[in-house]
Amino acid sequence: MAATRLFVEEFLQLAIQYPVLDVRSPGEYSHAHIPGAHTFPLFTDEERKVVGTAYKQESRQKAIKIGLNYFGPKMVRMTEEAERIAKAYQKNTADGKPVVLVHCWRGGMRSAGVAWLLDLYGFKVYTLAGGYKMYRNWVLQQFEKKYPIHILGGYTGSGKTYVLDALRQHKTKVIDLEELASHKGSAFGNIGMPAQPSQEMFENKLAGQLWQLSKAKANDTIWMEDESQRIGDVNIPAVLFKQMRTKPVFFLDIPFEERLKHIVAEYGPLPKEKLVNAIIRIKKRLGGLDTKNAVNFLIEEDIEACFSILLKYYDKQYLKGLHNREDYENIVHTIACPLVAAAQNAAAVLKNKR
């Protein structure tokens, strides 16, 4: 029985419980892929290049012959690898067949070849109509939709990420943009964090979360942190960011000294060399004198004095962005919070939302 072709959302729905095998080359996969997909390359990067060149410069038939020559010796290893991956999911069809979802770039020969092999071996195989290219079109479409977003605001050091975690404990829908971007959103945001995803991968992860949360039946509101459009090396898609700027902002108004204590505790233990480098990166905006003083305080182990300078700088930057909204007076709701306390502040946010 041949593989079943599915459109993007049907494919993604099944991907919640079954493995996705991305048969594109390792380079294509490492750049970006469907979140959760397993790399399952039919060709290496070099083999793909050879096949593609033959297709363009000679003929489709020549490319297929070269491809089959590469494919043949890999068949046993690929079926065994598919078995290993599928076994970890422990979900089969009613007749006991292991299930796999397969895709390539355009839903063409690569996915068809692997689907044929796995179907012949005994898998129930689903393929993605239009391949990863169609999936990427779907990703970009998600950012065009309207969402019931609420924005969690607050100056640097307000512990907004922890408040988002606390909101999750209330069964509230949350998208942590900094978590998706692997960056905390400031010049210091990459210290101690894993490497950032590519822009394309960031978009894939974000679109997937928007889709999953928007189709869930629980409370409609999706909470996001108030961010700049740029988070490290990735950007919130322009059309979604524009929408975010029109949404209600619940601003945690926490005293400067409380936020300073939080920042010192969180960033103080980080390597000094990396902190100094981060300060130097914002020298132009921070100003020569404040940069010099901040670095000197850091070297002298006066972490609090150093971060006091930096916090005042980030407060000015954030306030400028907060006010730079068309309907500021109506969409920004200030919540006085005496402490940086995630559970307490999350409860205050939910109370004010009502």
Q: Which helix (H) or strand (E) holds 63?
A: helix 60-71
Nearest to 157 by CA among 347, 351, 317, 315: 315
State how beta strands 99-103 and 124-128 pair: parallel
Question: Please, which residues bridge with residue 293 across strands?
Answer: none
Which one-letter DSSP state was computed for residue 123?
-
pLDDT digits (tens, 9 = 90+) for 46-60: 999 999 999 889 998
How confident is the model over 87-135, as pLDDT tens digits? 988 766 657 789 999 999 998 889 999 999 999 999 999 999 999 999 9
Distance (Å, rounded) from C-alpha 17 to C-alpha 93?
A: 12
Cα first-last separation, the chain: 54
Averaged over 215-236, what is the pLDDT? Answer: 89
Burial of 84 (0-12, 13-18, 19+ CB in 10 A): exposed
pTM over 0.85: yes
pLDDT of residue 92: 64
Tokens standing for residue 201: 């991968």
Which tokens belong to 211? 């889709």
Range 264-278 average pLDDT: 92
For residue 321, the model assigns a pLDDT of 87
Please confirm, yes or no, whether 337 is among the known catalytic residues.
no
Indicate the DSSP class of residue 72: G
Q: Give the pLDDT confidence score for residue 340 in this predicted structure.
A: 96
What residues have CB less than 8 Å from 119, skipping those under 6 apart?
1, 2, 3, 125
Among 3, 32, 34, 104, the active-site one is 104
Lowest mean per-residue pLDDT among 173-177, 184-188, 200-204: 184-188
Structural domains of the chain sorted by starting position, each given as residue range(s) with its CATH number in brackets: 4-139 (3.40.250.10), 149-353 (3.40.50)
Which of 13-17, 58-62, 77-81 is predicted least confidently?
Answer: 58-62
Single-letter amino acid, residue 226: D
